[in-house]
Structure 1
Amino acid sequence: MIKGWLAEGEIMRKTPYYSYVVGELPKGCQYCVRGEKLVLFVTGVCPRNCFYCPLSSWRRKDVAYANERPITKIEDIIEEAKIQEAKGAGVTGGDPLARLTRTVDYIRALKEEFGSKFHIHLYTTGILADKKALSMLYDAGLDEIRFHPDLFEPSSKFLNREIENLKNAFDFNWDVGGEVPAVPGFEDRIKWFAGILDKWGGKFLNINELEYSETNLRNLLNRGYKPVSNESSAIKGSLELGLRILEWGERNTSLNYHLCTAKLKDAVQLRNRLRRMAKNVAKPYMEITEDGTLRFGIAEYEDLEELYKFLIEEAEVPREWLYINWEKKRIEMPIEVAEELAEVVEGDVKFYIVEEYPTWDRIEVERIPLN
Structure 2
Amino acid sequence: MPRETTYYSYVVGELPEGCQLCVRGEKLVLFVTGVCPRNCFYCPLSPWRRGDVVYANERPVRSVDDIIAEALIQEAGGAGVTGGDPLARLNRTVEYIRALKERFGEEFHLHLYTTGALATKKALEKLYDAGLDEIRFHPDIFTPNSKLFEREIENIKNAFDFSWDVGGEVPAVPGQGERIKWFAEFLDRLGAKFLNVNELEFSETNMRNLLDRGYKPINDESSAIKGSLELGLEILRWGEENTSLSYHLCTAKLKDAVQLRNRLRRMAKNVAKPYMEITEDGTLRFGIAEYGNLDELYALLVKDAEVPAEWLYINREKGRIEMPVEVAIELAEAIEGDVRFFIVEEYPTWDRLEVERIPLP
* Residue of structure 2 aligned with 1:315, choices 282, 305, 311: 305
In structure 2, the residue matched to 1:334 is 324
Residue 268 of structure 1: aligned partner: 258
Aligned to 1:156: 146
* Matched residue, 2:135: 145
Offset from partner CA, 1:96-154 (integer Å, 9 cap, x none): 00000000000000000000000000000000000010000000000000000111125
Match of 1:188 in 2: 178
- Residue number among 43, 48, 56 corresponding to 1:58 in the alignment: 48
Alignment correspondent of 1:170: 160
Q: How many angstroms apart in 2 are the aligned matches of 1:360 and 1:156?
A: 41
Distance 1:211 1:222 in 2: 15
Paired residue type of 2:197: I
1:77 and 2:72 aligned: no
Tell me how far apart the structure 2 counterparts of residues 20 and 139 of structure 1 sit (CA, whole Å).
33
Q: Residue in 2 aligned with 1:221? A: 211
> How far apart are the structure 1 equivalents of 2:159 and 2:58?
30
Correspondence 1:349-364 to 2 at 5 A: 349-364=339-354
Give 1:134's aligned residue.
Answer: 124
Structure 1 equivalent of residue 85 of structure 2 = 95
2:246 aligned residue: 256
Matched, 1:197 2:182: no
Q: Would the aligned equivalents of 2:2 and 2:11 in 1 still touch at CA under 8 Å?
A: yes
Work out which of the residue numbers 13, 25, 29 in structure 1 matches 2:3.
Answer: 13
Letter in 1 for 2:249: L
Structure 1 position 185, deviation (Å) = 1.3
- For normalisation by structure 2, the TM-score amounts to 0.99
Unaligned 5+ segments in structure 1 are 1-10
**Paired residue for 2:101?**
111
DSSP 3-state at the match of 1:368 = strand
Number of the residue aligned with 1:211: 201
Contact 1:127/1:165 (<8 A) preserved: yes
Number of the residue aligned with 1:280: 270
TM-score of the two chains, using structure 1 as the length reference: 0.97
Aligned residues: 361
Q: Quote the offset at 1:12 in angstroms.
A: 1.1
Residues 148 and 178 in structure 1, CA contact (< 8 A), matched pair in contact too: yes
Give the deviation of 1:160 after TM superposition.
1.3
- Three-state SS of the structure 2 residue aligned to 1:41 is strand
Q: Deviations over 1:217-239 (max 9, x none)?
A: 00001111111111110001111
Q: Match of 1:203, as an amino acid?
A: K
Secondary structure of 1:61's match? coil
- Name which of structure 1's ranges 63-72 and 183-192 shifts more when overlaid on structure 2: 183-192
Could you tell me how far apart the structure 2 residues matched to 1:208 and 1:40 are?
19
- Return the offset for 1:36: 0.2
The answer to whether the aligner puts 1:348 opposite 2:335 as a matched pair is: no
Aligned mates of 1:352, 1:185 — CA distance in 2: 49
Secondary structure in 1 aligned to 2:161?
coil
Alignment partners' CA distance in 1, 2:183 and 2:144? 14
Distance in 1 between residues matched to 2:4 and 2:313, nearest whole Å: 46
Contact kept in structure 2, 1:299 and 1:331, CA below 8 Å = yes
Letter in 1 for 2:251: T
**C-alpha separation between the residues in 1 aligned to 2:92 and 2:314?**
37
Partner of 2:115: 125
2:176 maps to a residue whose letter is F
Indicate whether 1:230 and 2:211 are aligned: no
Query: Retained in 2: the 8 A contact 1:208–1:259?
Result: yes
1:71 Cα offset (Å): 0.1
- Check conservation: 2:34, 2:49, Cα contact below 8 A: yes
| Structure 1: distance between partners of 2:333 and 2:106 | 56
Aligned-pair identity in percent equals: 80
Q: Is 1:25 aligned with 2:15?
A: yes
RMSD: 0.6
Alignment map for 1:26-45 (pairs within 5 Å): 26-45=16-35
Distance 1:262 1:15 in 2: 14
Q: Work out the CA distance in 2 between the residues paired with 1:324 and 1:220.
A: 46
Question: Equivalents in 2 of 1:240, 1:347: separation in Å?
Answer: 57
Q: Is the 8 A contact 1:150 1:156 kept in 2?
A: no
Q: CA deviation at 1:164?
A: 1.0
